[in-house]
Amino acid sequence: MPGPLSHIRVLDLSRVMAGPWSSQILADLGADVIKIERPGAGDDTRSWGPPFLPGDEGRPDQNSGYYLSVNRGKRSVAVDLADPAGQAIIRAIAQHCDIVLENFKVDTLKRYGLDYDTLGKTNPRLIYCSITGFGQTGPRRAQSAYDFIIQAMGGLMSITGAPDNEPGGAPQKVGVPIVDIMTGMYATVGVLAALERRRETGVGENIDVAMLDVQAAFLGNQAMNHLLTGKEPTRTGNRHPNIQPQNVYRCRDAFLALAVGNDGQFRELAAVIGQPELGEDERFKANAGRVRNLALLEPILAAAFSERDAGAWETALDAAGVPAGRINSVGQVLQEPQVVHRQMVRHLPHPRAGTVASVVSPLRFANAPLVFDRAPPLLGEHTEAVLRELGIRTEEAPS
């Protein structure tokens, strides 16, 4: 069965992470994603290593681990956007597409005749999504941005990391480019919503997605805490600002993450650690009391967890219905039996490496199962095939 978006074609003019993350989601869902890359260099992330595919480092079409993580399922067409002939080819491809994704600086593609107003005139059904650091309007519209800078400017680092009065206390970024990833997710939601609206109206859309907007949006409960109180949320390490106990505890052999979500779970926790009286203690029996009296509760829990191995606690807490889990390394996650059972890591055929491992989409469709059979492409691997398939001859591409 074809994927749920097998009837959709995407022109991907984006590079680095946020845009390619979105287009990879669309490719996983079955869309035909045509990735445009600079001849001789390609996407910036091709050189963002090590690591690289074995033997690739230093090649003009090298494949870094970073590039491989966000370009599965696409077809690569090598075209120079700065060349009028290349611009003509892109305009011709756009006539055959449903979606355009781009993340150039504001107004860059307008200079090339590849903006929404230009492409939409000849393809009014086109859904055009622009991803930038700060959006198409506003005082910062012309500025560049990377994930790290938006994590800082957008408040995420102010609430991530240990408090100043604890060892290592300092603002900390998240361990993956979370703003890029979330921006890609929002962009995907936006284009899918526009596709549904187009089904009703026959008209395309011009979508403006800004990384700083996305970061502000997913401050979530921390933003609402501030709006309700006027107080600035602070870094609390692994402790949750509203629900307790939620923290990381050192056991005899490893660290354990504990997430108590309600008063019933806390009573079960108290019983598991052999101190059932804590569940009836007026200071701790309700969540609000545990939040206010955390300085008294934490040493009790820390002492209890230090007496046994993390695996023993995990088993006992799971049996009692209290969420807890060992802190795994990345390698341990990918070997976790549940992750293996769900086939989250697949080996895709690759023209140079034979196969390449990939962590695939978490979406599971019963009636239109996703197929993972196309590795991230080599630079320009599909140029001739795509242009031939769309009936575009480079010397006759419309201007």
Residue 180 is a catalytic residue: yes
Name the stretches of the chain with pLDDT < 50.
396-399
Question: 9-217+341-396 with 246-250+255-326: one CATH topology?
Answer: no
Catalytic one among 83, 180, 253, 318? Answer: 180
Residues in the chain: 399
Give the residue among 54, 79, 81 at the shortest CA–CA distance from 68: 54
Whether 355 and 374 have beta carbons less than 8 Å apart is answered as: no
d(CA 56, CA 47): 10
Whether 62 and 13 have beta carbons less than 8 Å apart is answered as: no
In DSSP terms, which residues pair with 256 in a beta bridge? Answer: 249, 326
Q: CATH code for 9-217+341-396?
A: 3.40.50.10540
Q: Could you state, in order of their start, the residue ranges of all structural domains in the chain?
A: 9-217+341-396, 246-250+255-326
Q: CA dist 154 to 117, 212, 223, 251, Å?
A: 31, 6, 11, 35
pLDDT at residue 395, rounded to an integer? 59
pLDDT at residue 44, rounded to an integer? 94
Of the CATH numbers 3.30.1540.10, 3.60.15.10, 2.40.50.140, 3.30.70.20, which one belongs to the domain with range 246-250+255-326? Answer: 3.30.1540.10
Burial annotation 27-47 (CB, 10 A radius, 16+ → b, else e) = bbbbbbbbbbbbbeebbebbb
pLDDT at residue 1, rounded to an integer? 65
**Mean pLDDT, the chain, as a whole number?**
95
pLDDT at residue 398, rounded to an integer? 44
d(CA 242, CA 373): 44
Radius of gyration for the alpha carbons in the chain, expressed in angstroms and rounded? 25
pLDDT in tens, 209-259: 999 999 999 999 999 999 999 999 999 888 888 899 999 999 999 999 999
- Read off the DSSP letter of residue 45: G
Give the residue among 79, 41, 43, 75 at the shortest CA–CA distance from 61: 41
pLDDT at residue 295, rounded to an integer? 94
